Chains A and B, each alone.
Chain A
Amino acid sequence: MATVFMKWLERRPQDYDRGIQLLTLGKLGSLQAQIVHHLIFEETRVLEIGCGTGELTLIMAQAGAEVTAIDISPPMLAEAERKVDQAGLADRVEFKVLDAALVGDHFDGGSFELIVSSLTFSEMTTQVRAYVLKTCLTLLAQGGRLAILDEVLPEKLAARLFYSAVRIPLRFLTWLLTRTTTHPLRDFTTTLSHAGYTTEVIASELGGSLQLMIASPGKEPGGMAFPRTVLGRLQHHTSLRTLLIDIWATFFRILPPYPKIEPGLYAVGRPDPNSVVLVTGNFDLTVRRLVQAIEGKVSAWVLVVDSAGINVWCAAGGGFLNAERVIGALRVSELEEIVHHRDLILPQLCANGVDGWLIRREASWEVHWGPVRAEDLPDYLVAGKDKTDAMRWVRFPLKDRLEMVTATLGFYGLIILIPVAIFLRELFWPIFISLVGLSYFYAVIHPWLPGRDGLMKSLPLALIALAGLATYVLLWEPLPWPRIFNWSLGLIGLSVFTAAELQGMSPRMRGEQANWGWEVIIVAALGLTYWLVPQALGWR
C-alpha cells in the first residue's frame, strides 16, 4: 500500500506541465510571453530561478537571451534540457541543478541583466524568500531587474472570494490528477519593498491571482527617476474630477470648456529607452482612455500634443493638431535624448491633418499610423506595429451611437426643452419623451434606415414616428383631429431634427452642415402649415 501511495505521489515532469496548465487555465503562457516581449532583447543575460520543465527558458532563448537556468529537481531539469536541445538552442542555455538558496555562492555579483522566476517564489519558505531576494540584489547588473510571475492572494475582497470559489476546487482536482500544486504569495509587494525593490505589477490574469511583477532595485518612488523633461506618470484612476469630466463629456461634449490635460511627455507604466512612443492630443478623455487601454499591458512614453483639448480627429481636421505641433512637442520634450529609437506611433485618425512626411523629413522620426481605437494598441504593438483591417476602419457601433446621441441630447435637449418648460408646460413630458425616445430609437436603428445622409434618413424615421402616433390613437386614446394634426407636425419636426443633427456625430457621413439650411426650411414649412391649415379648415 505504502509503495503504491509513494508511486502515486511521485511527480513526473509531464504531470507537472499538465498540472500547471490546468491550474492556471492556460494563462501562464501568455504572461510568460509578456516577459519575453518586455524584457528580453538580443543577448540579454538572464538567470532563471526554478526553470521547472523549461517552458519560459525555451521562449527566452528563442528571443535571443543567454539563459542560466537552475532548478532543484534533476528530472525537471532533464525535461527542460530536452526541450531546449530539440529547439537547437543548447548553446544559449546553461542548466544547473541548484537550490535557489545557494545562488549567491555560484555566480559573481552583477552577472545578470534580468532574473526571472515563474511560480517558484511561492514554493519557498518566508526565510528563503527573503534571502534569495537579497542575494538577487547583488547578482543584478546596473539597471537590471527582477521579473516574478507567480500566484498571489488577491487583495480586493471580491477577487478573494472569486479566488476561493474557483481556485480551491481547481487546486484539489489538479493535485489529484497530477500531484502538482501551488501556494499563493501573500502581500508580496511589501516583501519586495522590504528587500529593497520597487515593484510594479505589469500584468495579471485569473482575477488578479496570477501576476507578473517587475521589481527594480531601489527605494524611491517610481524606481528610477524619470528624465528631466518627463512630466510624470499617467495612471488610470477615478476621482471626483474624472467623474465630473465624464458627466460633462457624456451630456455636453460638444460644448466648451473641453477638459484637457497639460501637453508634454508622460510615462505609462515603467518605460525604458526601448519603449514605444505614442502620440496623442490633450483632450482629457482621449488621454485617459489611452492610459486605461495600455496600462498593465505595455509600458510606453506618451507624448501629449496640444490639440486645444479637442479629440484628435476633429482637432486634426480643424487645424488644431498638425505636424508642426508634433515636431514642436518632440523638440521640447527632448525625446531623442530619452529613447534609443526614432519611431513615433500616431493615431491613424489624425492623418487628415498631421503631415507624416513633414515629420519624417524635418524631424527625422519615422511615423507609424496606429490603430483607430486605443483598445487595439496592445495587440497592435504585440504584432510588431502591424495593423489588421479591423483596427484601421472606423466603425459606428451601437455603443458609440448611444454615446453620441446622449452627447447631442444634452445640448439640444436644453435648447428645445427649456422653452417648452416655460411656454408649453403641460406638453413638457410628452415632448420630452418623444424627443428622447426618438433619438435613442434612431441611434439603434440608424444602420438599417434607408438613405445615405441624415436628412434622407429622417424621412423613414418620421414615417415610423407617425405610425407610432397612429397606433397610439387607434389603440389607446382617440385624440381629436386638431391634436393629431399638431402631434404629426411636431413628430415630423423632431424626426428631421434628430436625424439631421446626428449625422454630424457619425464618423461615416460628411458635410452635415449643409443640412442646416434644409432643416430651417423644413421647420419653417411645418410652422407655416401649423398656422395656415387649421385656419383653412376652420379649427380655430
Chain B
Amino acid sequence: MTEGPTLRSLIGEHWNLARTLRKLEIRFDPERCSGVWECYEVCPVDCWEPDYEGSVVIFHHGERCIACGACVLQCPEGAIELEVPGG
C-alpha cells in the first residue's frame, strides 16, 4: 500500500473536481439579501440584476453562470451559495 496521493488518486481528484464544477448551481436566498448589489458588481457574465424597487437582486440569467464563485465570496449576507443540486 502506498501512503499519500498516487498519480491515480490525483487524476481521480482532478476529474471529480472538474465534474463537480460543471454541476454547480447557484442557490440564492432572497430572504437574506440586503440589496448591496455586490454580486451584480462582480459577476463577469451578467447573471444578476438589481431590483431597484425591491432593493434586492434577481438571479435572472442563471444559464450563463460559470461558477466562478465571485458573488458567493462577495455577498456580505451569505445569501448565495454554489451547490451541486441534490448532492
Residues of A near any B CB (own CB < 8 A): 317, 348-349, 351-357, 369, 372, 387, 389, 392-394, 507-514, 516-517
Interface pair A348/B19, CB less than 8 Å apart: no
Interface pair B22/A353, CB less than 8 Å apart: no
Instruction: Determine the chain A residues whose CB is within 8 A of the CB of B14 once the complex forms.
Output: 513
Whether a CB of chain A sits under 8 angstroms from the CB of B70 is: yes
Which residue of chain B has the shortest Cβ distance to A316 in the bound complex?
Answer: B70
Most buried by A among B22, B44, B67: B44
A409 smallest CB distance to B (angstroms): 23
Given contacts A317-B68, A352-B73, A357-B76, contact A507 B44 (CB under 8 A): yes
Given contacts A509-B66, A510-B66, A514-B22, contact A351 B42 (CB under 8 A): yes
The 30 sampled A-B contact pairs (Cβ below 8 Å) are A317-B68, A348-B42, A349-B44, A351-B41, A351-B70, A351-B74, A352-B70, A353-B73, A356-B74, A357-B74, A369-B41, A392-B41, A393-B45, A394-B44, A507-B44, A507-B66, A508-B45, A509-B66, A510-B21, A510-B22, A510-B68, A511-B18, A511-B21, A511-B22, A511-B67, A512-B18, A513-B21, A514-B15, A514-B21, A517-B15
The majority secondary structure among interface residues of chain B is: helix
- Whole-angstrom distance between the alpha carbons of A354 and B21 in the complex? 19
Contact pattern, B 37-67, Cβ under 8 Å of A = 1, otherwise 0: 0100111111000000000000000001011
Whether a CB of chain A sits under 8 angstroms from the CB of B1 is: no
Whether a CB of chain A sits under 8 angstroms from the CB of B7 is: no
Interface pair A514/B19, CB less than 8 Å apart: yes
Interface pair B74/A514, CB less than 8 Å apart: no
A459 smallest CB distance to B (angstroms): 18
- Whole-angstrom distance between the alpha carbons of A508 and B15 in the complex? 20
Residues of B near any A CB (own CB < 8 A): 14-15, 17-19, 21-22, 38, 41-46, 64, 66-70, 73-74, 76
Instruction: Determine the chain B residues whose CB is within 8 A of the CB of A513 once the complex forms.
Output: 14-15, 17-18, 21
A354 smallest CB distance to B (angstroms): 8
Interface pair B46/A393, CB less than 8 Å apart: yes
Instruction: Determine the chain B residues whose CB is within 8 A of the CB of A394 once the complex forms.
Output: 44-45
Which residue of chain A has the shortest Cβ distance to B40 in the bound complex?
Answer: A392
Most buried by B among A317, A351, A357, A513: A351
B15 smallest CB distance to A (angstroms): 6
- Whole-angstrom distance between the alpha carbons of A348 and B38 in the complex? 11
Which residue of chain A has the shortest Cβ distance to B39 in the bound complex?
Answer: A351
Instruction: Determine the chain B residues whose CB is within 8 A of the CB of A357 once the complex forms.
Output: 74, 76
- Whole-angstrom distance between the alpha carbons of A517 and B68 in the complex? 22
Which residue of chain A has the shortest Cβ distance to B43 in the bound complex?
Answer: A392
B78 smallest CB distance to A (angstroms): 11
- Whole-angstrom distance between the alpha carbons of A293 and B70 in the complex? 25
Interface pair B19/A511, CB less than 8 Å apart: yes
A510 smallest CB distance to B (angstroms): 4
B51 smallest CB distance to A (angstroms): 16
Which residue of chain B has the shortest Cβ distance to A509 in the bound complex?
Answer: B66
Instruction: Determine the chain B residues whose CB is within 8 A of the CB of A389 once the complex forms.
Output: 46
Which residue of chain A has the shortest Cβ distance to B22 in the bound complex?
Answer: A511
Given contacts A356-B38, A514-B15, A514-B21, contact A508 B66 (CB under 8 A): yes
- Whole-angstrom distance between the alpha carbons of A509 and B67 in the complex? 9
Instruction: Determine the chain B residues whose CB is within 8 A of the CB of A351 once the complex forms.
Output: 41-42, 70, 73-74
B22 smallest CB distance to A (angstroms): 4
- Whole-angstrom distance between the alpha carbons of A50 and B67 in the complex? 58
Instruction: Determine the chain A residues whose CB is within 8 A of the CB of B43 once the complex forms.
Output: 392
Interface pair B68/A352, CB less than 8 Å apart: yes
Which residue of chain A has the shortest Cβ distance to B19 in the bound complex?
Answer: A514
Report, nearest first, the 9 A-B pairs whose CB atoms are least far apart.
A513-B18, A511-B22, A351-B42, A514-B18, A351-B70, A394-B44, A511-B21, A352-B70, A510-B66
Interface pair A510/B67, CB less than 8 Å apart: yes
- Whole-angstrom distance between the alpha carbons of A353 and B71 in the complex? 10
Most buried by A among B38, B43, B64, B68: B68
Which residue of chain A has the shortest Cβ distance to B71 in the bound complex?
Answer: A351
- Whole-angstrom distance between the alpha carbons of A516 and B3 in the complex? 26
- Whole-angstrom distance between the alpha carbons of A354 and B43 in the complex? 14
- Whole-angstrom distance between the alpha carbons of A507 and B68 in the complex? 10
A188 smallest CB distance to B (angstroms): 44
A-B contacts besides A351-B73, A394-B45, 18 pairs, CB < 8 Å = A348-B41, A351-B41, A351-B42, A353-B69, A355-B74, A356-B74, A389-B46, A393-B44, A393-B45, A507-B44, A507-B66, A510-B22, A511-B19, A511-B67, A513-B18, A513-B21, A514-B15, A516-B15
